[in-house]
Structure 1
Amino acid sequence: MRQTTRIVIVGGGIAGLLLATRLGNTLGRSGRAQVTLIDKSATHIWKPMLHTIAAGTRDVQQQQVIYLAHARDHGFNYQPGEMEGLDRNARIIKLAALRSKSGEIVIGPRTVEYDVLILALGSRANDFGTPGVLDHCHFIDSQAQAEIFNEALRIRIFQSVVTNSALRVSIVGAGATGVELAAELSRLLEVASSYGDPGIRSRLNLTLYESAPRVLAAFPPAVSESSEAQLRHIGFKVRTGTRVIAAEPDGLRLGDGSHQPADLMVWAAGVKAPDFPGKLDGIEINRSNQIAVRPTLQAQDDDTLFALGDCSTLTLAGNERPLAPTAQVATQQAQHLARHLPGWLGGGSLPDFAFHDFGALVSLSDYNAFGTLGQFGFFRGGFIKGRFAQLSHAMLYRQHQQALHGFGKAMMLWTAEQINGLVQPKIRLT
């Protein structure tokens, strides 16, 4: 290793930003390593919050972390860019040209050298090659996509108000994103009804499609059943065991051949890592483009290459299935590397990653929340709902803020959010 080790982290999501922050604080500030974070966006949004940005029920300006400012405060470097290639022999990653929104090339293709490379590329919904999905459906996998959907949503709401017509929304995929987005849209229009059109919520015609037998298939049955009952109670159609075979300009084509009209369509089904890992230099991936890693989170045949979070796949000893692509797993993997990577760089060994299941929570806006408490802590495996579950879900984000900023700044951010909530509109209006 060089005297100053070059650690490059690609991807500024939950795992990547947390790891860059911790390593910057410990290795970057002391000069023991040069820590660089690379992400094509200039800002970070906690991914489980994206559905609220898409609906317009949270202020994106208050929730985003600006990478450049955060890097300055925590001893690491930030470079804007999108990885498109890798030369493992030369230890060089290749970055694509960086373009402006108008398509103008701001920075041409370039390379970045590394001694240790950590891929935290995240994931996106999986269209499974379904015809028309990329052309006609919205995705909610990034801040940019969430804001694009919000703009389209506000246009459709305006049209519905002016023409006194129905607002038909179809969401494909009843995982956490699809279920929570549906509830957030209902809440949005309930609040919007106080801004001049009392009947706008009644014109929301929302249908949630799921190919599995139940919504939230990755959650315990009690959470699924309660969530579906809540969605139906607020007036939504839930169609489980229903396959979507195509997206068309004016709606969805189902497996039985029927056409279901829609004004807005969101694809929130499946999970896959970005496409390009499959094109990288001999890296082993699965069908979802996830990089196979050892229990140390290192690639199968490369000790200097790590992958964590949704872009990796790891089946722990004693388990039949790989770890789920969740924020909980990504956070724990980032904490594991932050704790043990400095010792490994000094010649020590890397212990195996151990996952602790603290349960699963889903929040249906202000209506309700449901979850289980996992196998650690009090009330192991217990089912929770209502205000306690909503508070528990809200605390997940506050814990993320504290992990990034420390307790003091996290409290100030929370206080500022509460004050702004008193003087600003509850929803995005422009």
Structure 2
Amino acid sequence: MHRIVVVGGGAGGLELATRLGDRYGRGKRAENASVQVTLVDRYPTHVWKPLLHEVAAGSLDPFTQELPYAAQARWHGFDFQQGELTKLDRAAKRITLSAIADDDGAELLPQREIGYDTLVIAIGSTTHFFGVQGAKENSIALDTVPQAERFRKRLIAACVRAEYRTEHLGEQKAAQPQGEALDFAQAQAQAEAQAHAQAAAAQPDGPRIQVAIVGGGATGVELSAELRNTAHVLSAYGLHKLDPRHDIGIVLIEAGPRILPALQERVSTATTELLTKLGVQVMVGETVAEVAPGSVRTASGKTLRADLTVWAAGIKAPAVLGELDGLPVNRLGQLLVRRTLQTEIDDDIFALGDCAACPWPGNERNVPPRAQAAHQQASFLLRVIADRLAGRPLQEFTYRDFGSLVSLGHFSAVGNLMGGVIGGSMLIEGLFARFMYMSLYRLHIAALHGYARMVLDTFAHWLHRTTSPRVKLH
């Protein structure tokens, strides 16, 4: 029995486990050797991470898009174990998984050990706060569905409070007889109103609600555009009577000279123009020095009001990778791997996706942390594991850059296409770019379920959207 364990059910890890299960799963044989495939993840369900900005904006209900790992395992012949990787014993070829508790805090699954012959680590990345004072405590990251849901609920609550505060306090002031004593609740409400007024005093013509997004990469840009759409839809549904363009401000803060620094300058310029048309304030060359409750302070001395702050300024590998029995990591905590995707000191351990520092020949940097890279590496490892089981020499991974696309919500999309195929790049935007962006998720669904089920899934979700609000309102 050759035991293959894949840790991490993200885009790359789940695709790899699914395809391994289809080829070597229960009841199947590989080169006369029985193979067992196990997927490990700390959560019970999978949601494609590039969709989290839509979850945060409320334009996507995660419960209609999530995929239970246990169901996928049953359909495709692999096993699923829920738990978080906490320890690695390379000599004994075992990993340790954390205990799992239910919603009431009672232990659901105890701490366990799982043996492996081939281990693939694909646990993705987490938010990098760069040691900025107050950033971790006073801002929201978008690494998981619970974080995205937390931001969405706080946004709706902020809109409701802003509307109620203005209307209720105005009526209260008109009805209050001069000289009458205020009770505690009235005094507290007036104190909150005064605090809000003082915060807005620095921006007398500013919005009644302001969202600050730190980081001008793909996540920050996509969230800013999606939030503008959310503001319009919330207003249309009557959840609040705020002006969606002037009363809800969105500020995108980037430390570099331009947003989308990983893409070509013309893509960045086109995106900046589109965001400006949407009423998003783009601030470049501003490094955030402190995040406080209700405000963001930059290194240049500017203080911005922020009712909600999202941190999307960078990523790093999970800290546990630096504690895995001596496996070498780089300054971002990523596992150092060779072009075969094997770790530098252990041929039985592979890594893919955001958590792997994979060389990119001909480039000064490693393979970028993108969903397309994880997809390519999953397909590559399927072939490598077949060679490994058959005792053949392993191939080397070559990354092909097909370009990048950035969604601007229902308004548009922009990006450069086919960069690694035609030798240059082609700037695309508008409806065609939006269609190409949407097709990326559909290709992910096809990799998990096949093209026939992908078509049915697309149709089913289209029907659901026609009978549901465009923004989740609760």
- TM-score under structure 2 normalisation? 0.87
Distance in 2 between residues matched to 1:40 and 1:25, nearest whole Å: 23
Task: Measure the CA separation in 1 of the matches of 2:356 and 2:420.
Answer: 24
Alignment of 1:173-322 (within 5 A): 173-196=215-238, 197-202=240-245, 203-322=247-366
RMSD of aligned Cα (Å): 1.5
For each residue in 1:256-301, what CA deviation from the matched residue of structure 2 results, as whole angstroms up to 9, or x when unmatched?
A: 2332221111000111010111111111101110000000000001
- Of 415, 419, 423, which residue of structure 1 is paired with 2:467? 423
Letter in 2 for 1:194: A
Q: Give the counterpart of 1:62 among 58, 61, 64.
A: 64
Count of aligned residue pairs for this structure pair: 427
Q: How many percent of aligned residue pairs carry the same amino acid? A: 41
Amino acid in structure 1 at the alignment position of 2:244? R
Helix, strand or coil at the partner of 2:127: coil
Structure 1 unmatched ranges of 5 or more: none
Alignment of 1:70-219 (within 5 A): 70-164=72-166, 166-196=208-238, 197-202=240-245, 203-219=247-263
Specify the structure having the higher radius of gyration (Cα): 2
Please give the secondary structure, in 2, of the residue aligned with 1:201: coil
Q: In structure 2, the residue corresponding to 1:86 is in which secondary structure?
A: strand
The one of 397, 420, 427 aligned to 2:441: 397
Distance 1:232 1:219 in 2: 19
Aligned counterparts of 1:103 and 1:182: Cα–Cα separation in 2: 36
Q: Is the 8 A contact 1:192 1:200 kept in 2?
A: no
CA distance in 2, matches of 1:157, 1:411: 37
Q: Distance in 2 between matches of 1:160 and 1:413?
A: 39
Question: Aligned with 2:120: secondary structure?
Answer: strand
The code of the aligned residue for 1:181 comes to L
**Does residue 1:24 correspond to 2:21, yes or no?**
yes
> The residue matched to 1:48 in structure 2 has which SS?
helix
Q: Distance in 1 between matches of 2:299 and 2:360?
A: 36
- Secondary structure of the equivalent of 1:207? strand
Q: Aligned partners of 2:35, 2:80: CA distance in 1, in Å?
A: 14
Amino acid at match of 1:125: T
Instruction: Compute the displacement of 1:198 (Å).
Output: 4.9
Task: Choose the corresponding residue for 1:39, options 35, 38, 41.
Answer: 41
Residue 314 of structure 1, CA deviation? 1.4
Which deviates more, 296-305 or 121-130? 121-130
> Residue type matched to 1:36 in 2?
T
Shift of 1:104: 3.3
Q: What is the rounded CA distance, in whole Å, between the counterparts of 1:244 and 1:103 in structure 2? A: 37
SS at match of 2:413: strand
Amino acid at match of 1:170: A
Distance (whole Å) between structure 2 residues aligned to residue 227 and residue 317 of structure 1: 30
Deviations 1:197-234 (A, max 9, x none): 45341311111111111000001111111111111111
CA distance in 2, matches of 1:12, 1:223: 31
TM-score (norm 1): 0.96
Query: Given residue 297 of structure 2, which amino acid in structure 1 is its aligned partner?
Result: R
CA contact 2:401–2:421 (8 Å) conserved in 1:
no
Instruction: State how far apart, in whole Å, the 2-side matches of 1:34 and 1:319 are.
Output: 37
1:80-121 Cα offsets, whole Å, 9 max, x none, are 100011110011111122123444332222211111110001
Measure, in 2, the Cα distance between the counterparts of 1:77 and 1:167.
Answer: 47
Kindly provide the amino acid, as one letter, of the partner of residue 223 in structure 1: V
Quick one: which amino acid aligns to residue 250 of structure 1?
Answer: G
| Shift in alpha-carbon separation, 1:343–1:7, aligned structure 2, 3 A | same
Q: Is this contact kept in 1: 2:10–2:46, CA < 8 A?
A: yes
Other structure's SS at 2:229 match = helix
Instruction: Report how far residue 318 of structure 1 moved.
Output: 2.4
Q: Does 1:362 align with 2:406?
A: yes
Following the alignment from structure 2 to structure 1, what is the Cα–Cα distance between the partners of residues 101 and 462?
A: 36
| Pairwise CA distance, 1:235 | 1.1
> How far has the Cα of 1:339 moved from its partner?
2.5
Q: Distance in 2 between matches of 1:378 and 1:352?
A: 22
Contact 1:11 1:38 in 2 (8 A): yes
- Say whether the 8 Å CA contact 1:244–1:253 is kept in structure 2: yes
Between 379-388 and 356-365, report the one with greater CA deviation. Answer: 379-388
Alignment correspondent of 1:6: 3
Secondary structure in 2 matching 1:369: strand
The answer (yes or no) to whether the contact 1:373–1:380 under 8 Å persists in 2 is no
Q: Distance in 1 between matches of 2:398 and 2:420?
A: 13
Q: CA–CA distance in 1 between the matches of 2:145 and 2:372?
A: 20
Query: What is the rounded CA distance, in whole Å, between the counterparts of 2:221 and 2:355 in structure 1?
Result: 23
Q: Give the AA of the match of 1:201.
A: P
Q: Is the 8 A contact 1:161 1:200 kept in 2?
A: no
Residues 369-388 of structure 1 show CA distances to partners (whole Å, capped at 9, x for unaligned) of 11111335569511111111
